[in-house]
Amino acid sequence: MMQQKRFTFRKKRVKNKVGSNQPIHKMADIDDKTEKNVPGKFYVDCNCIDCDLCRETAPDFFARDDDEGVSYVSKQPETDEEIALCQEALEGCPVQAIGDDGE
Ligand code: SF4
């Protein structure tokens, strides 16, 4: 019987300048915001790969730009609970395309 090959996916680790093997956390770039973000603290940048995770995590605050195939912040959170939900979406984004240093 043929043995099935197992695939495992690991976060890519890159040595930083001081030689540490910690993963490098790339921040979203406020200068690369996608078009439809509403003004405010949270935003999505053009690194979005349209995976849908943020829209599932916080559907009241993230929406899809169907023309561009990216997410954007459709409403800024106001309460602590809403902010925590958006923060959860930020932390879950696989390509760090969500920023929290917007204006
Ligand atoms: S979680 Fe990140 S990559 Fe996925 S849709 Fe949202 S912003 Fe885009």
CA nearest ligand 1 atom 8, residue: 48
For residue 103, what pLDDT band results from cuts at 50, 70 and 90? confident
Distance 46 CA to ligand 1 centre (A): 10
If one counts the domains in the chain, the total is: 1
Structure tokens at 55: 């829209």
Structural domain contains residue 90: yes
Q: Which residues contact 63 (CB under 8 A, 6 or more apart)?
A: 36, 55, 71, 72, 74
Structural domain contains residue 89: yes
Does 41 have pLDDT greater than 80? yes
- Dump pLDDT digits (tens) for 54-88: 999 999 999 999 999 999 999 999 999 999 999 99
Structural domain contains residue 38: yes
Residue in 52, 86, 90 to alter for ligand 1 test, most ligand atoms within 8 A of Cβ: 52
The mean pLDDT of 46-55, rounded to a whole number, is 97
CA nearest ligand 1 atom 1, residue: 93
pTM of the predicted model as reported, rounded to 2 decimal places: 0.77
Structural domain contains residue 1: no
Bridge partners for 99 per DSSP: 43
For residue 25, what pLDDT band results from cuts at 50, 70 and 90? low
Range of the domain at 54: 30-99
